[in-house]
Structure formats: C-alpha cells, structure tokens
C-alpha cells in the first residue's frame, strides 16, 4: 500500500493515519536500531524518538511516497548520535577510573559456527555487526539485514551509490574475516 495518502492525512493532523505509518514501519526501524545498538532499551528509545521527530516534521517531507526512506534516515541519524554520545561517555569513564577497558579475549569465539544453532549463529553475526566500524555498520544493517537496495541506502545515508557499494564490499570483507575462524 502506498504511504502517500497516510502522509497527506498526517499532515492535516490525522493521528490515526500517522499511527498507521507507525504500525507499518515500527518493526523495521526497531530492527535497525537494535542491530546497531545491541540493546532493546536503546532500540525502543530510538524508535520513539524517530517517530516523534517524524510526526513533528511531517510537513517538511517533500515526497510523501518516500516515508520509509525518510524514517530510516531519521533513525540512522539517531543511532549515530547515540553511538557518539556513548563513545564519549565511555572515554570519560575510562579516564575517570584510570583503568583501561578490558575486552573479550581473542579466543572468545573459538567454537565453530557450524556447530551452533541457527539462533546462536544469528546472535554471533549480530554481535560481529555491532563491532564493525561505524562507517560500514549502517550500510550492512540497511542492506544485508533490512533488505534495502543500494540506491535506497544511499538516500538514507545521504551519500552516493558508489560509496554505499564500497562500504558494502568492506562490510562483507570485514564480516568474512571475523567469521572465517568460526566456519
């Protein structure tokens, strides 16, 4: 179904129409936020904030038929803002404690991936995606996990399709290198 009638109705203040847009896209936005943050709480916060911002700014959406890409853009910006804030807070905490952060050992993932259940494999891949460098993580989530086309991902991220293609290639190579020892 086309989003344009719901967007137009939302612009006139029809909260029910906007509720239909939320119903239509909440799960997709939630998955994007969860894949990026790894936290159900943070994913819920991102979803709420994304839809609140969308409702407040629905008048500024030029093409109502492109609501999905627009809401993904809002959510992508929010998860990036949240990640920067968390990195800053983590740096402050480490500086304040005088102790370096201790991460998992290099051998933490020594169990072969093929012996894991499908759910466990999915969890391992999600964990690795959250460890990806930020510039390739959103591309991986949008394309590999959410099924957006490279063109749509480029629109969400405000970059060229060529940039998305390069980042997707880098994301696949990064994942392959990290999962190779588990296969």
What CATH number did the domain enclosing 162 receive? 1.10.10.10
C-alpha 169/C-alpha 171 separation (Å) is 5
> Given this model, what pLDDT does residue 23 score?
96
The answer to whether residues 88 and 33 belong to one domain is yes
Q: Among 14-28, 52-66, 99-113, where is mean pLDDT lowest?
A: 99-113
> Given this model, what pLDDT does residue 53 score?
96
Domain that holds residue 73: 1-101
- Nearest to 56, CA basis, from 41, 71, 44: 71
The answer to whether residues 117 and 95 belong to one domain is no
The answer to whether residues 141 and 120 belong to one domain is yes
pLDDT tens-digit map of 144-173: 888 889 999 999 888 999 999 999 999 999
Contact 115, 169 (CB under 8 A): no
The answer to whether residues 70 and 137 belong to one domain is no
> Given this model, what pLDDT does residue 181 score?
67
> Given this model, what pLDDT does residue 115 score?
58
Contact 58, 168 (CB under 8 A): no
Q: What percent of the chain has pLDDT over 90?
A: 49
The answer to whether residues 56 and 97 belong to one domain is yes
> Given this model, what pLDDT does residue 84 score?
78
pLDDT tens-digit map of 77-95: 999 888 777 665 555 555 5
Q: Among 24-28, 112-116, 126-130, where is mean pLDDT lowest?
A: 112-116
pLDDT of residue 99 exceeding 80, the answer is no
What are the distances in angstroms from CA 125 to CA 38, 88, 97, 116, 172? Answer: 12, 26, 32, 12, 12
* Last residue of one domain, picked from the residues 46, 78, 101: 101
Residue 58's pLDDT band (cuts 50, 70, 90): very high
C-alpha 143/C-alpha 135 separation (Å) is 14
Give me 153's structure tokens.
């991902």
pLDDT of residue 127 exceeding 60, the answer is yes
Q: Tell me which residue has tokens 């990036």.
A: 80
Average pLDDT over residues 29-46: 92
The answer to whether residues 2 and 23 belong to one domain is yes
* Last residue of one domain, picked from the residues 101, 136, 159: 101
> Given this model, what pLDDT does residue 100 score?
43
List b or e across 102-135, with b for residues whose CB sees 16 or more CB atoms inside 10 angstroms.
eeeeeeebeeeeeeeeeeeeeebbeebbbebeee
Biggest alpha carbon distance in the chain? 57
- Nearest to 80, CA basis, from 1, 136, 16, 20: 136
- Nearest to 130, CA basis, from 29, 11, 34: 34
> Given this model, what pLDDT does residue 109 score?
46
- Nearest to 179, CA basis, from 134, 88, 89, 116: 116
Secondary structure (3-state) at 167: helix
The answer to whether residues 9 and 67 belong to one domain is yes
């Amino acid at each position: 179904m086309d989003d344009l009638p719901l967007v137009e109705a939302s612009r006139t203040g029809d909260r029910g129409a906007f509720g239909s847009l939320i119903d239509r896209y909440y799960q997709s936005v939630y998955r994007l936020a969860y894949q990026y943050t790894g936290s159900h709480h943070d994913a819920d916060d991102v979803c709420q904030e994304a839809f609140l911002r969308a409702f407040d700014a629905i008048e500024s959406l030029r093409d109502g038929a492109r609501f999905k890409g627009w809401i993904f853009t809002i959510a992508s910006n929010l998860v990036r803002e949240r990640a920067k804030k968390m990195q800053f807070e983590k740096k402050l905490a480490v500086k304040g404690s005088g102790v370096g952060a201790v991460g998992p050992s290099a051998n933490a993932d020594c169990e072969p991936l093929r012996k894991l259940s499908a759910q466990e494999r999915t969890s391992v891949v999600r964990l690795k995606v959250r460890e990806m460098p930020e510039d390739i993580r959103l591309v991986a989530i949008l394309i590999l996990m959410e099924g957006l086309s490279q063109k749509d991902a480029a629109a969400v991220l405000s970059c060229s399709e060529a940039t998305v293609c390069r980042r997707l290639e880098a994301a696949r190579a990064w994942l392959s290198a990290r999962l190779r020892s588990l296969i």
